[in-house]
Structure 1
Amino acid sequence: MALTGYVGRKAGGVLGQVGELFVIVLEGLRRTWDIRTWWWEFVAQCWFLARVTSVPVLLVSLPLGATVALQVGELAWQLGASSATGSAVFVGLVREVAPMASALLIAGAGGSAMTSDIGARHIRDELAAMEVMAVNPIHRLVTPRMWAASTVAVCLAPLVIVAGAAGGYFFNVIIQGVTPGAYFDGALSLVVTTDLIVTLFKAWIFGFIAAAVSCYMGMTCATSPVGVGRAVNKATVVTFMLVFAMNYVITAIYFLAFPPKVL
């Protein structure tokens, strides 16, 4: 009975946190139309996120594309189909790597900063002071951050694709000696327009999730510096879990609607 009660309390606590997260998200979306109240904060957050994620995403994507080309290229070389490496690199980058890499960098670099910023405001009672002045802290702080994170995530996805393709090009063409024409012909043979659309949609959803979770953790953290640090760690972990789960759901639905093309 004691174990059952403990599990029930834990499950109730988790469901309560999920409900609070949805309340914050819906409240943040409710006044999205009032752009004048959050436009400049949105611009500042976009600039901040672009500044802290653009270089890391390049440093991650270049070796990632080369690694995919290395793993696939060796096998394709033995089978006499080395030009197929370009297809594997581009399909992997477009369908999975680009939205995941952009979301994880948004969560790791930008989301942690969001959580610590809002958490610091929370422990200094700035959020309560905003409410006293009839300013909704969710509309003023959370709404621009959610839209900024989703916008920057969409902009980072093409950057991941280009950088990863450059890394794959270096290994497949420069190292293995495949002709550039064969590399790019194979790269574009399996990628279709719907792949790019779904990739950008994924990046938008993942960035939105990262910002929503980060803001929620900051607004509900314990009122101490230790609480802010724990909230930052928790926000990053929860974001990663939600992003991976949502990626599986979206990919499964997409493959059911548009089965992968076979050469």
Structure 2
Amino acid sequence: MSTTTRSPIEAASNAVTGALREFGNLFAMGLDVVVAMFKRPFQIREFLQQFWFIASVSIMPAALVSIPFGAVITLQLGSLTAQIGADSFNGAASVLAVVQQASPIVTTLVVAGAGGSAICADLGSRTIREEIDAMMVLGVSPIQRLVVPRVLAAMAVAILLNGMVSVVGVCGGYFFNVVVQDGTPGAFLASFSALAQLPDLWVSEIKALIFGFLAGLVAAYRGLNPKGGPKGVGDVVNQSVVITFLLLFFVNLVVSVIYLQLIPAKGA
């Protein structure tokens, strides 16, 4: 009885090839979703149902998580600015950090963890029950019928939740700076209004839009490609959340670098 073993180099090569293939398939599906968004008929009822579901399971966790995020950022920056004698800039630094970075990340983590996992589980169960194959046999596009409404719903919820998380996070940071660190309310607000600018909010909303698209797309892609029956559905749900988190932080870095290069800081 002979056994064949693969060398570490061959195993690594196969892993890289498989990852590139999955990325290519995900990218191709993303293009199909973008094209299908402009096709008719648009599944407005499915969109509204998915929008309400994702919003209902995401709004409370997002609001609760945004408070400690804003508080931690404000407290940390407050201690640093106090050490270098720049207390007057604490408001601007903390608010910009919350609006530009923390808010879209927190929003998408909640959307992907609560809404995206449900989307992946729903589509995965439909796939193993061969409902997706039946739709394709009947000439109905699963992308247009099921995926597009869910991706658009994730994008819409991410944009709206991002605004709420920004407000709650800033208010939480203001409260902890004034109450816990004995900061001056006037200095906090004055530094924020002096250095913040409207593009800071726009880039936050653009990030939320992109992140919401990625969360919905990855969840739908993994849900349409489960392996191994019900256990496979559980596996792809976990995979969708992890992949979304990895893409989230990478894309956040790219968008932040582009924004900081193109939009000069206020007063610069």
TM class by shorter chain equals over 0.9
Conserved 8 A contact 2:59-2:161: yes
**3-state SS of 1:177 partner:** coil
1:16 alignment partner in structure 2: 21
Letter aligned with residue 13 of structure 2: G
Letter aligned with residue 137 of structure 1: P
TM-score by length of 1: 0.93
**3-state SS of 2:223 partner:** helix
Letter aligned with residue 177 of structure 2: N
- Is 1:45 the counterpart of 2:43? The answer is no
**3-state SS of 1:33 partner:** coil
Mapping of 1:234-253 within 5 angstroms? 234-253=239-258
Conserved 8 A contact 1:94-1:196: yes
Aligned residues: 263
Conserved 8 A contact 2:111-2:154: yes
2:3 alignment partner in structure 1: none
Mapping of 1:132-143 within 5 angstroms? 132-143=137-148
Question: Residues of 1 paired with 2:180 and 2:247: CA distance?
Answer: 38
- Is 1:66 the counterpart of 2:71? The answer is yes
CA RMSD of aligned residues (A): 1.8
Conserved 8 A contact 2:222-2:239: yes
Residue range with higher mean Cα deviation, 71-80 or 38-47 = 71-80
Unaligned runs of 5+ in 2: 1-5
2:203 to 195, 198, 212: 198
Conserved 8 A contact 2:211-2:248: yes
Question: Residues of 1 paired with 2:89 and 2:13: CA distance?
Answer: 52
Letter aligned with residue 204 of structure 2: T
**3-state SS of 1:37 partner:** coil
Question: Residues of 1 paired with 2:69 and 2:11: CA distance?
Answer: 44
User: Residue 8 and residue 110 in structure 1: after superposition, are their counterparts in 2 closer, same or farther (change >3 A)?
Assistant: same
**3-state SS of 1:36 partner:** coil
How far residue 98 of structure 1 moved from its aligned partner, in angstroms, is 1.1
Letter aligned with residue 49 of structure 1: I
2:178 alignment partner in structure 1: 173
Q: Deviation per CA, 1:135-193, whole angstroms, max 9, x where unpaired?
A: 11111111111111111111111111111111111112233333332221122222112
1:34 alignment partner in structure 2: 39
Conserved 8 A contact 1:122-1:223: no
**3-state SS of 2:196 partner:** coil
User: Residue 76 and residue 7 in structure 1: after superposition, are their counterparts in 2 closer, same or farther (change >3 A)?
Assistant: closer
Conserved 8 A contact 1:210-1:239: yes
Mapping of 1:99-248 within 5 angstroms? 99-248=104-253
1:256 to 245, 252, 261: 261
Percent of residue pairs bearing the same amino acid type: 41
Question: Residues of 2 paired with 1:5 and 1:76: CA distance?
Answer: 52
Letter aligned with residue 24 of structure 2: G
Unaligned runs of 5+ in 1: none
Question: Residues of 2 paired with 1:23 and 1:223: CA distance?
Answer: 24
TM-score by length of 2: 0.91
